[in-house]
């Protein structure tokens, strides 16, 4: 398999080196604000007024920026200024730990010592601030960044140095149940919109210094924090490099969701199949990381990307690994079947009804013929109408506020299902087929079923025109396409195709945990061994202790 990586990395890195170097350079300089960007490497002046003026100029018409000037330790000569953004900074901390401490408490703590302007900075840092996270900088743009990130910046008159206090605190959603991926068994936590919370959620699951979390900023206007997480020692280093270089290549004005990044780092942007997976469950991300994948977290969204992504991932729910393996395997089998159904059932139905009547057993054919006797449409139109109305219903159900959404689905089901059959507009068999297809497409991941829904319509057209031949040709093209897909160098269909025998333990069937000795071979190249062999529990020889 080594040749694969080699050729791939060659292919991937070719012609991208220069670009990525530029991108990296641009990023390091951190050209934050597009509009009144400070000159590169502009340093602070010792004069507080000048600094304030410069900052105020940058934050012109930003009413949420607060400038609070006061004096240090009641010494009129040492003037200080606090700058922070209202709503992002924790007001309690700012007033208690910074202002109160500096203005009132320092003189009490150090009564005898004389605080001069020159030594003020030293005093503030060592004795004054009661903050857990403090940084120093002399660059204007760092100051701007800090303010925008929610930090509180303390400027000291007479010093070219600003103190950045990590007193962030804003209104954030608390950790709740995963909405998009609910589970019966397994952790109920899901990611939230705050990057730090999310990294903490992962860290809490992988308590190892091997878990590395690197951050960078993306988005020229939004300056969104993006973190790359991986487990050193398991992950393939080349993969990390590749992820970084693809991320650094991105130059967009905004990254509001992981979806932005997903589309910019995909291997095959035209494919209907997603080659970058996302999840909102920390346990799933942790499991992914432990298989050697890389996670990409973005501030402001609870969805985390994981790469490389395999086809089978979309059929594996995190719950599979928590339930007993026999049951999990059975459920997974059902998911496989529903995947195939959701792709082919309507087109098979169309092909059978309008071309290949010999496929039905006689009684079934007669009963379907009886149902279709009064239907005024050809079956393709009929199925198309039903599929479209199903999609409309589904979309309406998602978009509407929850209470109305339910009403819509009830009315829709009644109108479309019951009434249209009674009116003789639609055959009952068609309703069954469409409903089964629709439900089948909900058994696996949403983002994946979108691809199947799109392709389903294509296959329907094909089978309406050429019957079974059209359907099979369409499926063949889809298969070829899937075979040609890669996600970050890993063949999309692996471990099925190309077959890596040991990895088939976790595809259609889920092996018991005592059988999962190795990590996926094509993803985790470094540390293949997952666990010790011989963990299969054996009952003690002596049943009674």
Partner 1 sequence: MLEKGKIDSNQAVMLMVSLVLPTAILFVPAIIVKHARQDAWLAAIVALLGGLLIARLVVSLSLRFPEKTLFEYAQTILGKVPGKLVGLLYIWWFLYTGALIMDEFASFLCTAIMPETPPVVLFLVGIAVAAYAVRNGLEVLSRYNQLLLPILLGLLVITFLLVTKDMKAERLLPVFDQSAPAILKGAAVPLSWLGEIVLFAMIIPFLQKPREAHRVAALATLFTGLFFAICTVVTLSVFGPNLAAHWVFPVYNTVRVVSIANFLERLDIIIVAVWVFGGFAKMGVFYYAAVLGSAQWLGLKDYRPLVAPVGLLLIGLALLCDNIVDLLDFAARAWPPYALIVFEVGMPLFLMIVALVRGKGESNA
Partner 2 sequence: MLKKIAFFLLLALLTGILSGCWSRKEISEIAIVLGTGVDLTEDGRIRLTVQIARPTAFVGGGEAGAVGTEAPASWVVSAEGRTVEEAERYLAMKVPRELYWGHNVILVIGEEMAKKGTRMVTNFFQRERQPRENAWLMVTKGEAKDFLETYSDLAKTSAQAAGFLTRMKTCYAVQLREFAEMLASKGVQPTATRVEAKKAGITPGPGQEKVFTAHKQVELTGAAVFKEDKLIGWLDAYQTRGLLWLKGEAMKGAVIVPSPAEPDKNVSIRILRGSTKVVPEYDGENLRFNVIIKVEGNMVDQQSREDLARPEKIKALKEAVAEAIRQRTAVALEKAQGEYGVDIFGFGEAFHRKYKKAWRELKDRWDEEFTRAEVNVTVDVRIREIGLLTRRASTEEK
Contact between residue 356 and residue 468 where contact means Cβ atoms under 8 Å apart? yes
State the binding partner of 496 from partner 2, partner 1, none, CB within 5 to 8 A by kind. partner 1
State the binding partner of 476 from partner 1, partner 2, none, CB within 5 to 8 A by kind. partner 1
- Two structure tokens written together for 197: 């919370």
Can residue 467 be called a binding residue for partner 1 (CB under 8 A)? yes
**Distance (Å, rounded) from C-alpha 450 to C-alpha 339?**
11
The kind and range of the H/E element at 455 are helix 446-484
State the binding partner of 498 from partner 1, partner 2, none, CB within 5 to 8 A by kind. partner 1
Can residue 171 be called a binding residue for partner 2 (CB under 8 A)? no
User: What's the closest the beta carbon of residue 213 comes to partner 1, in angstroms?
Assistant: 36
CB atoms within 10 A of CB 163: 26
Side by side, which strands form the sheet with 224-231? 211-218, 224-231, 294-298, 304-307, 277-279
Complex with partner 2: residue 366 or 392, whichever CB lies closer? 366
- Two structure tokens written together for 387: 């599929």
Contact between residue 201 and residue 312 where contact means Cβ atoms under 8 Å apart? no
User: What's the closest the beta carbon of residue 466 comes to partner 1, in angstroms?
Assistant: 7
- Contact residue for partner 2 among 17, 324, 357, 399 (CB under 8 A): 357
What are the counts of helices (DSSP H) followed by strands (DSSP E) for the chain?
A: 18, 12
**Distance (Å, rounded) from C-alpha 351 to C-alpha 337?**
19
Count of positions on this chain that bind partner 2 (CB under 8 A) = 25
Could you identify the residue written with the tokens 């300056």?
A: 223
Which letter, b or e, does each residue of 501-524 get, where b requires 16 or more Cβ atoms within 10 Å of its Cβ? eebebbbeebbbeeebbbbbbbbb
**Distance (Å, rounded) from C-alpha 140 to C-alpha 453?**
51
Can residue 496 be called a binding residue for partner 1 (CB under 8 A)? yes
- Contact residue for partner 2 among 373, 398, 401, 542 (CB under 8 A): 373
**Distance (Å, rounded) from C-alpha 349 to C-alpha 405?**
30
- Contact residue for partner 1 among 493, 522, 523, 524 (CB under 8 A): 493
State the binding partner of 7 from partner 2, partner 1, none, CB within 5 to 8 A by kind. partner 1
Q: What is the phi/psi pair of residue 494, to 5°?
A: -65, 150
Nearest Cα to Cα of residue 222 among 256, 260, 258: 256
Can residue 468 be called a binding residue for partner 1 (CB under 8 A)? yes
User: What's the closest the beta carbon of residue 52 comes to partner 2, in angstroms?
Assistant: 55
> Terminus-to-terminus CA distance in the chain, angstroms?
51
Contact between residue 215 and residue 226 where contact means Cβ atoms under 8 Å apart? yes
Can residue 62 be called a binding residue for partner 2 (CB under 8 A)? no
Can residue 215 be called a binding residue for partner 1 (CB under 8 A)? no
Complex with partner 1: residue 413 or 496, whichever CB lies closer? 496
Can residue 528 be called a binding residue for partner 2 (CB under 8 A)? no
Can residue 353 be called a binding residue for partner 2 (CB under 8 A)? yes
Count of positions on this chain that bind partner 1 (CB under 8 A) = 29
Query: 427-466 mask for partner 2 (x: CB under 8 A)?
Result: ----------------------------------xx-xxx
Complex with partner 1: residue 28 or 362, whichever CB lies closer? 362
Which of the ranges 102-110, 135-143, 249-257, 348-356 carries the binding residues for partner 2, by CB under 8 A?
348-356
Q: Which residues bind partner 1 (CB under 8 A)?
A: 3, 7, 355-356, 358-361, 466-470, 472-473, 475-477, 479-481, 483-484, 491, 493, 496-499
């Amino acid at each position: 398999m080594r040749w694969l990586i080699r050729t791939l990395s060659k292919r991937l890195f070719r012609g991208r080196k220069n670009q990525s170097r530029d991108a990296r350079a641009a990023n390091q300089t951190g050209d934050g604000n597009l509009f009144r960007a400070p000159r590169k490497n502009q340093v602070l002046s010792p004069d507080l007024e000048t600094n304030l003026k410069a900052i105020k100029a940058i934050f012109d018409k930003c009413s949420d920026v607060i400038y609070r000037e006061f004096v240090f330790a009641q010494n009129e000569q040492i003037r200080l200024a606090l700058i922070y953004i209202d709503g992002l900074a924790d007001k309690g901390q700012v007033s208690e730990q910074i202002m109160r401490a500096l203005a009132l408490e320092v003189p009490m703590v150090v009564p005898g010592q004389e605080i001069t302007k020159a030594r003020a900075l030293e005093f503030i840092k060592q004795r004054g601030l009661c903050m857990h996270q403090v940084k120093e900088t002399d660059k204007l743009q760092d100051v701007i960044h800090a303010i925008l990130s929610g930090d509180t910046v303390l400027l000291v008159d007479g010093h070219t140095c600003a103190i950045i206090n990590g007193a962030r605190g804003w209104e954030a959603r608390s950790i709740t149940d995963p909405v998009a991926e609910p589970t019966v068994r397994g952790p109920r936590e899901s990611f939230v919109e705050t990057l730090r919370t999310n990294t903490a959620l992962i860290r809490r699951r992988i308590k190892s210094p091997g878990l590395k979390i690197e951050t960078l900023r993306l988005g020229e206007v939004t300056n969104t924090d993006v973190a790359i997480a991986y487990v050193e020692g398991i992950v393939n280093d080349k993969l990390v490099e590749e992820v970084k270089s693809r991320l650094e290549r991105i130059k967009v004005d905004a990254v509001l969701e992981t979806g932005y990044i997903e589309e910019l780092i995909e291997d095959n942007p035209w494919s209907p199949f997603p080659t970058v997976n996302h999840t909102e469950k920390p346990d799933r991300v942790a499991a992914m990381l432990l298989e050697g994948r890389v996670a990409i977290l973005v501030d402001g969204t609870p969805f985390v990307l994981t790469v490389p992504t395999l086809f089978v991932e979309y059929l594996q729910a995190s719950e599979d690994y928590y339930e007993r393996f026999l049951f999990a395997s059975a459920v997974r089998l059902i998911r496989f079947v529903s995947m195939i159904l959701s792709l082919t059932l309507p087109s098979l139905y169309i092909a059978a009804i309008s071309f290949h009547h010999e496929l039905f057993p006689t009684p079934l054919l007669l009963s379907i013929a009886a149902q279709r006797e009064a239907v005024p449409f050809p079956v393709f139109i009929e199925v198309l109408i039903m599929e479209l109305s199903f999609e409309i219903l589904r979309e309406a159900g998602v978009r509407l506020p929850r209470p109305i959404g339910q009403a819509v689905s009830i009315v829709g089901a009644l109108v479309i299902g019951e009434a249209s059959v009674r009116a003789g507009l639609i055959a009952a068999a068609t309703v069954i087929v469409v409903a089964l297809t629709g439900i089948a497409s909900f058994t696996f991941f949403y983002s994946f079923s979108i691809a199947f829904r799109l392709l389903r319509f294509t296959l329907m057209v094909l089978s309406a025109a050429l019957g079974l031949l059209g359907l099979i040709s369409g499926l063949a093209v889809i298969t070829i396409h899937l075979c040609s897909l890669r996600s970050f160098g890993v063949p999309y269909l692996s471990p099925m195709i190309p077959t890596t025998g040991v990895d088939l333990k976790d595809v259609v069937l889920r092996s018991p945990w005592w059988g999962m000795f190795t990590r996926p071979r094509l993803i985790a190249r470094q540390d293949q061994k997952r666990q010790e062999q011989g963990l299969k529990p054996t009952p003690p020889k002596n049943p009674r202790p």
